[in-house]
Amino acid sequence: MVELLYHQACALDKQKKELLVDKSSFLLVREMGLEPTRHNHTHLKRACLPFQHSRKCLNIITISAAFVNNYFLYLELLDLRLNYSDFDDTMNKITDWRGHTMIRSGLAHTPDNRYCFCTKPGHFLIRLQTARDDMECVKLHYQDKYIPVRFFDSRRSIEMKRVARDHVHDYFEAEIQIDVVCLRYYFELIHRSGERLYYSNCRFLQQAPDDIDRMYDLPQNLREVERFRVPQWAENKVVYQIFPSRFAASQPVSDKQWYQAPIKSTADLKGDLKGITAHLDHIQSLGADIVYMTPIFRSNSSHKYDTIDYYTIDPSFGTTQDLIDLVDKAHGMGMKVMLDAVFNHTSPEFFAFQDLENNWENSQYRNWYYCNGKPKRPKTFGVKPNYKCFSYFGGMPKLNLENPETAQYVIDVALHWLRTTHIDGWRLDVGDEVSHNFWRKFRDAVKREFPDALIVGEVWHYAADFLQGDTWDTVMNYPFLNAAMDFAANETISASEFLNELDFLRGNLHTACQPLLWNLIGSHDTSRALYRCGEDKQKLRLLAAIQMLLPGMPFIYYGDEVGLTGGGDPDCRRGMLWALERQDKTLFAYYQKLIKIRKLHTCLTDGDPHEQWAEDTSGTVIIDRGEMVIVFHGRNGTAHLPQYEGLLDLISEEPFNGLISGHKALVLQK
């Protein structure tokens, strides 16, 4: 009947020469008992728009399905003719309809390394995405592909656990142990209204499938061969980032020179590798596990992100032996060392680019870059060069890593420093602007010889495509930075929105990389965390607690732990605070305590929370991890948590009195 009505509406619209509402919207509107119409469009923005109009008919109000279904529907726009007076009634009808119908468009599952993967030999994790708050229960059904049920009934089922919930989706997971050639599986979906459907091979079914060819496929050996292997030594370790030219100098430098503020990019503070080596005890006493240094190879800039010679330590930093000494001492103190790999681009002074400029017609390096004719360096910034480069800056021409010779050169560089200095991994600058094809080659070469080398990509956005086990081990987690800053420093998102941001990553990223995510609150590319907190150290303390008390790898930018501030690049790269009178020793002790708590109580970082929730009115996030309860209070004023009164707060080392002040964190021991 609905199909007939749809075709009648088509004919009517054609006669009126009006645009036709799409079929999916039409069927949905009819299902709700509402009249589809098509006139002038007025966009409804949330529930407030009708109140901006006088009491007259609102022609067509286009309601986004995301709004109608609390951000969980992914359907076409609904076109409804509404009158101001019956707006509430109509919205109630929509809400009632949503509660009694499974939101099919919210479901997602593909049998790939994001939704179905091997965690260890014989163990597999299967994930399903659904619309938020839509399912009462989800079950995974599975069986052997090749053994008929009449000979041996291998059919099994398991209830899936909801492990994450973001703004619009819930994420369910189940881990199973199998020993088969190939597995077939499907999902049983029980909606909160009692409706039951089956989801199999990307199709919805009214009955459970009995044809294995209509089920999802899991070839066990293939998935085990492609298993995402990461260096387990790195899981949940603490990273300490150093900008070498500004961290420590082995030669005398006046305070006037060292403590310039604000600082310019051309400032020469004479920081070097020997200076870093001499101050490794500071990093160790803080509790950090990994020292990561920005580029140290020969370059004419202070930042060294425009490499002239990948095989030479910049003379201002020292020698190869100085690097070996630094690595050896760090290893002796139980710390790892990582270097920065700038393989996306070079300096124009790099030998291959020099040859292009000098011998364009006959140069053997014409395929090493992306040049539209002989390279012509712009004389002023803002002029687009005739060759590809980083950020249109002519001083950083982009390498063509699809050229086999260029790719091999870069891979050889990475292997050289791993072999000769025994560094423990690479951070890949501008990694997301280099092809997956090259990073697969890079990973294969590095992991073949150094399986425990850590490979970290720089990317400022969600990067699941680089975290499937075939390119990088992990990334700099800028989505974490944004969420933490917006909750604790900027106060622009609620406590529940903060949890939603974290759960989006938990629900979408491969579980192997999650303990390795570099959870930063600042870096050499951002303004300082303290600066972004408006110099409010209480907010900085909360940010540090968010870093240290959640899974992943807390990432400390040098100086944050003693109160170093600074605006955007280059002012975020000031000289480290070494004079004792300049250091905030109380803040340093706070960082130390957080790291100590983190390391002593592994329940804070291992596995998923027992339960977590947000109280938006008070601005609190509460995470129950069994033995411990973590509380983050991201607003001014005092929040009352009487249910935890009397529990020992490991940070203050005092019993909790039930009141938490503004921008504060608690670790409550049950």
The CATH number given to 611-669 is: 2.60.40
CB neighbours of 586 closer than 8 A, spacing ≥ 6?
A: none
Beta bridge partners of 36: 80
The CATH number of 346-400 is which of 3.50.50.60, 3.90.400.10, 3.40.1370.10, 3.30.413.10? 3.90.400.10
Residue 458 among the catalytic residues? yes
pLDDT of residue 31: 43
pLDDT of residue 356: 96
Burial of 372 (0-12, 13-18, 19+ CB in 10 A): exposed
pLDDT of residue 86: 43
Q: How many Å apart are CA 113 and CA 353, to the nearest integer?
A: 39
Residue tagged active-site, from 322, 429, 571, 649? 429
Residue 429 among the catalytic residues? yes
pTM (two decimals) = 0.86
Please name the helix (run of DSSP H) or strand (run of DSSP E) that holds residue 337, with its range, or none: strand 336-341
Distance of CA 373 to the CA centre of its chain: 39
The CATH number of 232-344+401-599 is which of 2.40.50.140, 3.40.30.10, 3.20.20.80, 3.40.710.10? 3.20.20.80
Residue tagged active-site, from 173, 235, 322, 458? 458
pLDDT of residue 362: 94
Superfamily of domain 104-225: Immunoglobulins (2.60.40.10)
- Give 573-615 as a DSSP string: GPPP--SGGGS-HHHHHHHHHHHHHHHH-GGGTSS--SEEEEE
Give the residue carrying structure tokens 């509660």.
Answer: 99
Give the residue carrying structure tokens 């990223």.
Answer: 509
Token pair for 398: 């982009």
Token pair for 478: 């800028």
Q: How many Å apart are CA 211 and CA 208, to the nearest integer?
A: 9
pLDDT of residue 383: 87
Q: 608: closest CA among 237, 112, 125, 120? A: 125
CB neighbours of 522 closer than 8 A, spacing ≥ 6?
A: 481, 528, 529, 532, 557, 560, 572
SS (H, E, C) 1-63: CHHHHHHHHHHHHHHHCCCCCCHHHHHHHHHCCCCECCCCEEECCCCCHHHHCCCCEEEEEEE
Mean pLDDT by 10 residues, the chain (670 residues): 41 39 43 39 32 30 36 34 41 51 93 94 97 96 95 96 96 97 98 95 95 96 96 98 98 96 95 98 98 98 96 98 98 98 97 96 96 90 90 95 98 98 98 98 98 98 96 98 98 96 97 97 97 98 98 98 97 97 98 98 93 95 96 96 97 97 97
Domain residue spans of the chain: 2-99, 104-225, 232-344+401-599, 346-400, 611-669
pLDDT of residue 37: 40
pLDDT of residue 236: 98
Q: How many Å apart are CA 620 and CA 633, to the nearest integer?
A: 4
Please name the helix (run of DSSP H) or strand (run of DSSP E) that holds residue 639, with its range, or none: strand 639-640
pLDDT of residue 51: 31
Give yes or no on whether 104-225 and 232-344+401-599 have one common fold: no
